[in-house]
Every structure is written in C-alpha cells, then in structure tokens.
Amino acid sequence: MEKYQCRCQYVYDPEIGDPTQAIPPGTPFEKLPDTWVCPLCGLEKKFFVKKEGKPTSESGHPTIKVKVKCFSTLRNAEKCDFKDGTEHELFEGSNVHDLVEKLEIPLEAIMIVFVNHKEVDFQTVLKNGDHVALSPKTGAM
Ligand code: FE
C-alpha cells in the first residue's frame, strides 16, 4: 500500500493508520474518510501526494521554481530582489497567494501581480519557471 505525504512532511503510512483519528492499521489512503485531516497540520486529504513518482523536493513533495521581482517599497534584498529577481521554490500547485505568504508580504500591500508580464490575480496557479513581479499600491514603477 502506498504512503502519502502532506505539505508539512507528515507521511500517512497505511500500515500504521492514524490512531489519533481512529483509523485502524491497514487502511489505504484512498479509504480514509473525507473528514480525515493531517494529524499534524490539519490540511485536507487533497493536499497529500503519493510518496513515490514525479520529481520531488527533499521532503518528497513535488516542487516548482519561480523567479520573483518586487518593485518599489516591496523590494527586499533577501526575499525579493528588484534587479535580477529572486528564485523561490514552491510546492507544485501553489498559487500567487501561497507565494506572497511565503515571502511574508502583507496581501494588502500588493496592488498588481504580473506573471510572465501579464497581469493576474492571486488565485493564479504558478508553473515551473514562471517570472512573477509584484507591485505595491504606491510608488513609482
Ligand atoms: Fe500536514
């Protein structure tokens, strides 16, 4: 039976089940009730991925890499450079909102988001190699 991994790196092992939610040993991941959540971080089943297959990060979860540029007041040498952009690794399926959270930029500070030079919204799912640019509410571009 296949193991599944959460974004927080918890691994569901069917051999063990999940005693914290009364899941007996021998329960395949597919048979877990829809109400089951990650016992460590509370994420739903849909955020889990199979432990094998696909290129993966060190933790086993598939990732993508994007380049992020920040304009004006959002500039930050460490997390979001203005000149060349800063590379960030994200879990596959992450959207702009997830990226902004990772950068620890308050959502309300961002006015316009560009992905590959097109204006997009926060729900836009990012792909490997995307170029993301964030522009604040005020300040020159
Ligand atoms: Fe988790």
Q: What letter does residue 78 receive in the DSSP assignment?
A: T
Average pLDDT (40-57) is 77
Q: Are residues 55 and 68 in the same domain?
A: no
Q: Are residues 47 and 8 in the same domain?
A: yes
How high is the pLDDT of residue 107? Answer: 87
**pLDDT tops 60 at residue 141:** no
**pLDDT tops 70 at residue 137:** yes
**Which pLDDT band holds residue 100 (cuts at 50, 70, 90)?**
very high
Cα 92 from chain centroid? Answer: 6
* Of the residues 59, 81, 97, the one at which a domain ends: 59
How far is ligand 1, taken at its centre, from the CA of residue 59, in Å?
12
Q: Are residues 69 and 128 in the same domain?
A: yes
CATH code assigned at 16: 2.20.28.10
Give the count of domains, the chain.
2
CATH code assigned at 76: 3.10.20.30
Q: Are residues 54 and 77 in the same domain?
A: no
* Nearest CA-CA partner of 70 in 39, 101, 30, 110: 110
How far is ligand 1, taken at its centre, from the CA of residue 49, in Å?
11
Query: What are the pLDDT digits (tens) for 72-85?
Result: 889 887 889 888 88
- Residue 117: CB atoms within 10 A of its CB come to 7
How high is the pLDDT of residue 54? Answer: 44
Q: Are 29 and 48 in contact, with CB atoms under 8 Å apart?
A: yes
d(CA 72, CA 80): 11
Tell me which residue range forms the domain holding 108.
Answer: 63-136
Q: Are residues 118 and 68 in the same domain?
A: yes
Q: Are residues 48 and 6 in the same domain?
A: yes
How high is the pLDDT of residue 138? Answer: 65
How far is ligand 1, taken at its centre, from the CA of residue 44, in Å?
8
31 domain-assigned: yes
How far is ligand 1, taken at its centre, from the CA of residue 71, in Å?
33
How high is the pLDDT of residue 59? Answer: 58
